[in-house]
Structure formats: structure tokens, C-alpha cells
């Protein structure tokens, strides 16, 4: 019994020290600052949105963004979901599109290696998951009908119903599929000039 009590006391002390340290790192405003390492997806989406709304990323900022893509590229010339993951078709397709929008020419080794890897994937760019299809459609590089939409009426199903979108889709991807087919239909048609300019892997 004394052995268990010692373990509990050690755990409590570890917990107390962890909480104390965490509170010591809190700013006066109540926030905690720290680096979050993830993937290039958000940066890619930012670049795409800026282009879509006709407010491209300023020239002075582009080199730093391109350098970020260079420094986070895998040995295969693509990008993963996190620094230790393998290549991700989704992240790589978005990164390639963002690089092209940032002015990186297709023959640049960074873009060329990514395009080669995308083409080598089974199904190529067409195999990108729903989120990728959404961004390609918004950019005018894919038909919005390539997405697999969920009818909005499906959300009227009880949440505990596993067949309903709320029963199986715990991510934000479900609303994207819904809004992607209705809100961006007109936008994607107007952006088809990108495809005619040859901006596809």
C-alpha cells in the first residue's frame, strides 16, 4: 500500500510542477505563445484565397513563403501532413498550386519534383481527397462536380445515426463538401482561365 501511495504522491507532485510551469509561461493577457508545427496546408490555402479574391500575395513576402516550402519539402520533393509523415497527395497538390501562384515556374526543381511525384501517384491529381478537390474547383482547375457532396437534408438525420454526416464526419470536411457545391459553383466557372493558362500538374 505504501508503494501505491508513493506513486500517487509522485504523480501529484509531477502534476503540480507541470501546472506551475504552464502558468509561469502564461502572458499577462491570458494567452500562451508557442510554435505550432504542422504542414503547408494553411499557407497554401492562404495563397490560393489571396489569388481568388484578386489580392495576390505581395512580391516582398513571396520569397519567404517559397523558402518555407523549400525547407519543408520531403526527400521525395513533396509535403506531408506533419514533419515526420510521409508524402501527402493533398498537401503536395495544394503546395504545387500555391507555388505556381507565387510565381514559381514549373521547371523550378521545387515545382518540377512535386509535379513528377503527383503524376506518379496512382490516379495522379484526380486521386486527391475531397478537400483537395474543393480547392482545385475553387481555383478553377477542376469541375466542382468532381466533389462528393453531402445533401444538406442529410443533416436532419439524428446525430447518433451512423449513416448521417454528423454520425460519421467529425471534421470540418463535411460542411466544406456541402458549401463547395453550392457557394462556389459560379466562382469556379469564372476561374477557369487558370486551367487554360496551364496551371495544372
**77 touches 116 (CB < 8 A):** yes
Q: How confident is the model at residue 160 (pLDDT cuts 50, 70, 90)?
A: low
For position 48, which CATH number holds? 1.50.10.20
Number of domains comprising the chain: 1
20 occurs within a structural domain: no
112 occurs within a structural domain: yes
135 occurs within a structural domain: yes
pTM above 0.85, yes or no: no
Q: How confident is the model at residue 31 (pLDDT cuts 50, 70, 90)?
A: confident
25 occurs within a structural domain: no
Helix (H/G/I), strand (E/B), else coil: 29: coil
**112 touches 142 (CB < 8 A):** no
| Domain carrying residue 122 | 41-196
Residue 199's Cβ-count burial label (10 Å; 0-12, 13-18, 19+) is middle
Which triple of cell numbers denotes residue 42?
494553411
138 occurs within a structural domain: yes
> pLDDT (tens digit, 9 = 90+) per residue, 162-175?
555 555 544 444 44
6 occurs within a structural domain: no
How many CA atoms does the CB half-sphere of 140 hold within 13 Å? 20
Report whether pLDDT(16) > 90: yes
201 occurs within a structural domain: no
Over range 116-135, report the average pLDDT: 92
> pLDDT (tens digit, 9 = 90+) per residue, 52-62?
999 999 999 99
100 occurs within a structural domain: yes
Amino acid at each position: 500500500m505504501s508503494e501505491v501511495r508513493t506513486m500517487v504522491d509522485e504523480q501529484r507532485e509531477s502534476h503540480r510542477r507541470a501546472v506551475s510551469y504552464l502558468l509561469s509561461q502564461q502572458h499577462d493577457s491570458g494567452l500562451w505563445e508557442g510554435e505550432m508545427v504542422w504542414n503547408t496546408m494553411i499557407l497554401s490555402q492562404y495563397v490560393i484565397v489571396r489569388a481568388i479574391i484578386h489580392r495576390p500575395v505581395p512580391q516582398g513576402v513571396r520569397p519567404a513563403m517559397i523558402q518555407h516550402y523549400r525547407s519543408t519539402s520531403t526527400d521525395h520533393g513533396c509535403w506531408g501532413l506533419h514533419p515526420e509523415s510521409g508524402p501527402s497527395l493533398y498537401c503536395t497538390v495544394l503546395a504545387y498550386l500555391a507555388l505556381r501562384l507565387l510565381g514559381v515556374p514549373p521547371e523550378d526543381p521545387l515545382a518540377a519534383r512535386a509535379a513528377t511525384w503527383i503524376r506518379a501517384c496512382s490516379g495522379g491529381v484526380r486521386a486527391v481527397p475531397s478537400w483537395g478537390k474543393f480547392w482545385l474547383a475553387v481555383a478553377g482547375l477542376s469541375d466542382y462536380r468532381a466533389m462528393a457532396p453531402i445533401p444538406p437534408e442529410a443533416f436532419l438525420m439524428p446525430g447518433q445515426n451512423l449513416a448521417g454526416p454528423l454520425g460519421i464526419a467529425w471534421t470540418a470536411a463535411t460542411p466544406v463538401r456541402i458549401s463547395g457545391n453550392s457557394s462556389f459553383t459560379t466562382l469556379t466557372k469564372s476561374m477557369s482561365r487558370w486551367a487554360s493558362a496551364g496551371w495544372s500538374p
